[in-house]
Structure 1
Amino acid sequence: PMRTVAVLGGGIGGLAASYYLSKSPQVTKVILLESSGRFGGWLWSTRRSDGAVFEHGPRGIRPAGAVGKNTLNMVNSTCHYSHVLKEQILYVNEQLHRMPSGPSGLLRTAPPFSRPLVLSGMRDILSRRGKQEDETIHSFVSRRLGGELADIAIDSLCRGVFAGDCRKLSVRSCFPVLYNAEQRRGSIILGMLLGSGPGPVVPPGPLAQRSVTESWAQWSLIRGLHGRVQLHSEAAVTKIRPSETGWKIDLEDGVVSADHIISALPAKALSSALPPSCQPIIKQLQDISTVTVAVVNLEYEGLWSPGSFLRGSRSARVVYDSVPFPEHNRPEGHTTRLTVMMGGAWFQEVFGDPESVTEDDLLARATEGVQKHLGVTSAPSWSRVVLQRDCIPQYYLGHFQRVESIRSFIKKNNLPLSLIGSSYDGVSVNDVIFGGRNAAEELLGSVV
């Protein structure tokens, strides 16, 4: 039996892996090591004394697909949650536009698009399958659905999800569902309709079934997780050394021994802790790039809402938090809560060096953006600025080969090490939780 498993990193990936490990009788002890003073990683919120909640990282979690069902199954027994239906609004050429929806929306020409979206669908069905091993998201969508959809909708989606540039990101790693649909069915649309190959199958629990019958678009946690795990905060890992039975993990004030390590650390953080014997993968881990995002939470007096969500301009995105999750508003009085996310792949270009930018600069830029795009003249009554450094990995071309190469080195050398987290297999909360579950299952050799 596996006696002690150390999980490095107390973000949602590390917490999920610990949760799944703690359910197994094969593991005697799970030790979770987190360098900061709080757990949850990029999932981070401020709960004000008047009851209002402001998110500084990911907020809504999608229920769709196997990974979405898996998260809901985990939450079913451990958490309180709320759900939401939503629509998308795009900001293009200085104007707000509602995204077309429903059959009639696909048949009509609706700005900012110059032709009906159904014509893009016809193009996809009639296009040939691509031959490249990997391709940028922009090139892939332009080829299959046309340049306009790539320039407007997909460009906006990549800014919203990755805070990244669709002309540099890999379709195979960022949107494997689209890549696999073309590989398997020769078309994105046929792949979506008929299924694009053997993926993970997760039987839906009661909460996942509810999300389908009630057509949830997103959901959010109200209160968090508990489990039978030793949690250590303020426990930064300085070095990992091989030992006879597994690993010795050096902390700033002590040493932890473990039979196996599940690392949920960002790739660069792991690379600086690995021993010299792991040199071949240290460089590859360092090559997984990340971007920095400034998150500015704003609260305004009064209720106003041109729409639920807004994907913003070139380097900013605005989310109407008070519409999808009204239970996070303060109970008394009418307010509108917004989050402005800025920077990403364009951080340096827009703000300069993240080290020298001030919170005042970021707050001023965010409130100016809200005034310009939404016509709001009043100043916010409350604000909070958080600079999330290196928070979103960027899967550039060839990312899948790098990850395969890192994992094959680990396997070939029989290293008792598993890699999970947003650096490798998807940046969404669902992907990261599913990665934690997969690592626990592989380690234990059974379904958890």
Structure 2
Amino acid sequence: MAPALPLADEPRQITQCPMPRTVVVVGAGVSGLAAALHLTRTAAAPKVVLLEARERTGGWLQTTRTEEGAIFEHGPRGVRTSGAVGKNTLQLVSELGLDPEVLPVTYSNAVIRNRYLFTGGKLCALPSSIRSVFSRLPPFSLPLVHSLVREPFVRRSREADESVHGFFTRRFGQELADYGVDSLCRGVFAGDSRRLSVRSCFPALFQAEQSFGSVLLGMLAGAGATKWDGVQTGMLERARRERWAQWTLRAGMQALPEAMEAALRSRGVEIHLHTPVTQIRPTADGACQVLIDGGTLTADHVFSSVPARVLNRLLPPAWHPLTEALSEIASVSVAVVNLEYKGLVLPVLGFGHLVPSAECGEILGVVYDSCAFPQQDRPGQPTTRLTVMMGGSWFTAAFGEPGSVGAELLRQRAITAVRQQLGIAAQPLRTIVRVHQDCIPQYGLGHWKLLTAISEFIEHNRLPLTLIGASYQGVSVNDCIYQAQRGVECLRD
């Protein structure tokens, strides 16, 4: 059975097979939860067992709800509505009965329009309208329109892959690559645009150039877009009508996996927390044994949503070509420091700012949480919630090993960054420090080859194994949910 790994521009034949009787899902992050839910949606649903090594489900979706009523996110804090994957997640939210809990931000909101770079020692507003494209905005020496006008005339590349930085330098110019795209990759992947693959990180842009010879023309033609064929729920219609850009949940993003877990338990899914998997090995009859502390589970099929390098350590030596490919998919660690200040202390209104790597390697950016979702501030006297993102590809060089860095060092560095970049000199009312080790996979050059090798090995050997999760085809919440559901659909076909 082929896993949900082939790229959209390289479809592969899916072998038909009956739905297995017992499925074990390894990892109860949002991918594992989504796969388990999708498995229970048919009358002939298999027995589903969900295993999680930690004490809770949800993975990197983590929320702190304080006694004062404030909400602090330690992982993803807002979900985009655009595209088929965005609609798919909103449909899931509706199915879980969470419609009343959704807090949207529309495209008309200044928070969405106002985004900044911190470079040259100051905040610089990014272009946010048609008019601003024709204006010269620091740090760019020319209006953005100059880069856009020349792009359709740039010759397409014949290379099978290219770094994100190289792709944008070639098509849009050095400044856009050095400031805008460098910062974007730090905000999304906490990674270095000079090492990340444009084919895997931004597949729609890569396909647009390959198919149309131009990113702009290809995107106008809808290159790389996935068709939405789901149910048009009331919330989807509202999101379209009101032009939602992003949304969160009133009680924080952790409310999503909490609702998914509750739905799974109501459907009879076995969920085992504090249950790390120690080994996955094949049986003579084509099934799998999943070894846990104190026992062994036999599964007709296994869904793995754990990071690629974690899965690599669980598989048998005989699957060497697969484990070798998995070991090549690296990830980076991110320190997340939540800060709460007394009063309205931000000098600007906006979603937040990113920091180019040339300006400050270890500070990736600052999110202005109180601007985007003021409903999650503590009631009463006004306060300002901020989140400082640090580390990523620069973590070890700046702070040392993620497992041993002290919380006070990270706290002080975050406070210093807020003082230097936003001019906020006061001490915060509250500070929460989290270090997420190996939390964001890095799709390096040739990542697509690793996916092809993984898919071919699993399909050729008819392994009862499907790989889902952020390690493969998208790191966002939307991508993880969509790919998990697609993996289940491939199993059903």
TMscore range, shorter length: over 0.9
Alignment CA distance shift 1:434-1:346 (3 Å): same
The residue number in structure 2 matching 1:122 is 149
Matched, 1:232 2:272: yes
* Higher RCO structure, 1 or 2 (CA under 8 Å, sep 6+): 2
Cα-to-partner distance string for 1:119-147 (whole Å, 9 max, x where unaligned): 11111111111111000000100111111
Counterpart of 1:185 in structure 2 is 212
Name which of 231, 253, 256 aligns with 2:294.
253
Letter in 1 for 2:274: E
> For 1:272-308, what per-residue CA distance to the aligned partner results, in whole angstroms no more than 9, with x for missing partners?
1112221111121111111111111111111133132
SS of 1:129's equivalent in the other structure is: coil
Residue 310 of structure 1: aligned partner: 353
Which of 382, 393, 396 does residue 444 from structure 2 map onto?
Answer: 396
Distance across 2 between alignment mates of 1:82 and 1:211: 11
- Post-superposition offset of 1:245: 5.0
For structure 1, which runs of at least 5 residues remain unmatched after alignment?
Answer: none
Q: Distance in 2 between matches of 1:220 and 1:277?
A: 44
Q: Where do 1:101-180 residues align within 5 Å?
A: 101-180=128-207
Q: Does 1:287 align with 2:339?
A: no
- Equivalent residue runs for 1:368-447 within 5 Å: 368-445=416-493
Q: 2:220 is matched by which residue type in structure 1? A: L
Greater mean alpha carbon deviation, residues 365-374 or residues 273-282: 273-282
Encode CA deviations 1:206-226: one digit per residue, 9 max, x unaligned: 323322221222111333322
Q: How far apart are the structure 2 equivalents of 1:62 and 1:356?
A: 34
Aligned match of 1:275: 316
Residues in 2 aligned to 1:265 and 1:5: alpha-carbon distance in whole angstroms: 16
Whole-angstrom CA distance in 2 between matches of 1:50 and 1:30: 39
Q: Which residue of 2 aligns with 1:350?
A: 398
- The letter for the 2-side match of 1:261 is V
- 1:198 CA displacement: 6.3
Q: Is the 8 A contact 2:345 2:424 kept in 1?
A: no
Secondary structure class of the residue paired with 2:371: coil
Call closer, same or farther: CA 1:198–1:156 in 2, change over 3 Å: closer
Cα shift readout 1:233-269 (whole Å, capped 9, x = no counterpart):
1110001121225111111122222110110010011
How far apart, CA to CA, are the structure 2 residues paired with 1:237 and 1:27?
A: 24
What SS does the aligned partner of 1:166 have? coil
Shift of 1:109: 1.3
Give the drift of 1:315.
2.7
Shift of 1:76: 1.4
Whether contact under 8 Å (2:208, 2:218) holds in the other structure is yes
Q: 1:63, 1:208 within 8 Å by CA — same for their partners in 2?
A: no
Which amino acid in 1 is paired with 2:38?
A: Y
* 1:28-86 C-alpha deviation (Å, 9 max, x unpaired): 31111100001000111111122211111111111111111111111112123211141
Corresponding pairs, count: 445
In structure 2, C-alpha distance between the alignment counterparts of 1:321 and 1:197, rounded to whole Å: 31
Tell me the percent identity: 46
CA distance in 2, matches of 1:260, 1:26: 15
Which secondary structure does the structure 1 equivalent of 2:341 belong to? strand
Tell me: CA distance 1:327–1:177, structure 2 relative to 1, closer, same or farther (3 Å).
same
Counterparts of 1:92 and 1:129 in 2: how far apart (Å)?
Answer: 31
Question: Aligned partners of 1:245, 1:125: CA distance in 2, in Å?
Answer: 52
Relative to structure 1, the CA distance from residue 348 to residue 91 in structure 2 (aligned partners, 3 Å threshold; closer, same or farther) is same
Pick from 104, 109, 134: which aligns with 1:83?
104
CA distance in 2 between counterparts of 1:71 and 1:197 reads 19
- Aligned counterparts of 2:227 and 2:466: Cα–Cα separation in 1: 19
How much has 1:314 moved relative to structure 2?
3.2
Whether the aligned pair in 2 keeps the contact of 1:26 and 1:444 (CA below 8 Å) is no
Q: 2:292 aligned with 1:264, yes or no?
A: no
Q: Choose which of 224, 236, 246 in structure 2 pairs with 1:208.
A: 236
Q: Which amino acid aligns with 2:344?
A: L
Q: Which residue of 1 aligns with 2:246?
A: 218
The C-alpha deviation readout for 1:84-112, integer Å capped at 9, x for no partner, is: 14131111111101111221111111222
**Quick check: 280-289 or 397-406, which moved more?**
280-289
Residue 48 (structure 1) aligned to one of 39, 59, 66: 66
Q: Distance in 2 between matches of 1:189 and 1:334?
A: 43
Q: Which amino acid aligns with 1:288?
A: I
Gaps of 5+ in 2: 1-18, 107-111
The alpha carbon displacement at 1:197 in A equals 4.8
